[in-house]
Chains A and B, each alone.
Chain A
Amino acid sequence: GIQVEQSPPDLILQEGANSTLRCNFSDSVNNLQWFHQNPWGQLINLFYIPSGTKQNGRLSATTVATERYSLLYISSSQTTDSGVYFCAVYSGNTPLVFGKGTRLSVIA
C-alpha cells in the first residue's frame, strides 16, 4: 500500500519563528489533507489540497502531486500552534492513509 512519510518527526520552535513541514508519499494520490491534533486530542482540518497552493492566515500548504510531496508552512508561530501535524492521503480505492506526524512544540 501507499507509504506516507513526514519530516521532521519532532520540531521545537521559538515563538515567532517560521517552519516547514514535509509530507512525501510513495504513489499517486487522489487527494491530500493536512490536520492538526491539538493538545486536547482533537483533529482539526487544516487543508484539503490535492494540488497547488492554499493559504489560511499564517498557514499555507503546497502539494506537488507529480513529485509526490506536500509542504505545510507555518509563519510567525504561536504557542497555540503546538501539537501534532498529520498529513493523510487517498490513493485509488484505499482509505485515508496517515503519516506518523510531526510533533511541534512552540515555546514562548
Chain B
Amino acid sequence: EAGVTQFPSHSVIEKGQTVTLRCDPISGHDNLYWYRRVMGKEIKFLLHFVKESKQDESGMPNNRFLAERTGGTYSTLKVQPAELEDSGVYFCASSLYRDRGLLSTEAFFGQGTRLTVV
C-alpha cells in the first residue's frame, strides 16, 4: 500500500511568486493534516481536513496560504505570494480516523516538500 505522497520534493521560487504543494494521503484516510518546519525549528500544525471539510485551520499563518481538498482525496496548499519567511519543509500527514476525546489512530507523514523562497 502506498504511503503519503507529496509533490514536489523540492521547490525554489522567487519572492512574490506562487507555489502549489500537493499531498496524496493514504487511500481511505479521512483525516489529512498539513504541518511545516521552518528554519530547523519545531514542526508546527497548519490545518486539518476531515474528508473535504476544514476541521481546524488555526495554524495557518496568514491569508497568503490557501489549502483545499477537493472530493476528500488529495490536497493542495498554495502560497501566494511567497515571502522569504515561508521557506521550510512542508509535511502532509493522514490518519484513518480521529474520535474526539478517544484514542486517535496513527498519523503517517509524507516525505515533505522543501520550499526555498529567494
Q: Which residue of the partner chain, among A30, A35, A41, A86, contacts B104 with CB atoms under 8 Å?
A: A30
Count CB-based A-B contacts (< 8 Å).
Answer: 55
A residues within 8 A CB of B107? Answer: 33, 96
What count of chain B residues pass the 8 Å CB interface test?
Answer: 26
B residues within 8 A CB of A73? Answer: none
User: Do B101 and A93 have beta carbons less than 8 Å apart?
Assistant: yes
A92 and B104 alpha carbons, distance in the complex (Å): 10
Tell me the dominant secondary structure on chain B's binding face.
strand
Instruction: Check: A42 CB closer than 8 A to any chain B CB.
Output: yes
A residues within 8 A CB of B98? Answer: 90
A residues within 8 A CB of B100? Answer: 92-93
Binding site for A on B (CB under 8 A): 33, 35, 41-45, 48, 56, 59, 89, 91, 93, 98, 100-104, 106-109, 111-112, 114
Which 8 residue pairs are nearest across A and B when measured between Cβ atoms?
A43-B109, A48-B106, A98-B43, A95-B45, A90-B104, A42-B111, A31-B104, A41-B112
Binding site for B on A (CB under 8 A): 30-31, 33, 35, 40-43, 45, 48, 50, 86, 88, 90, 92-93, 95-101
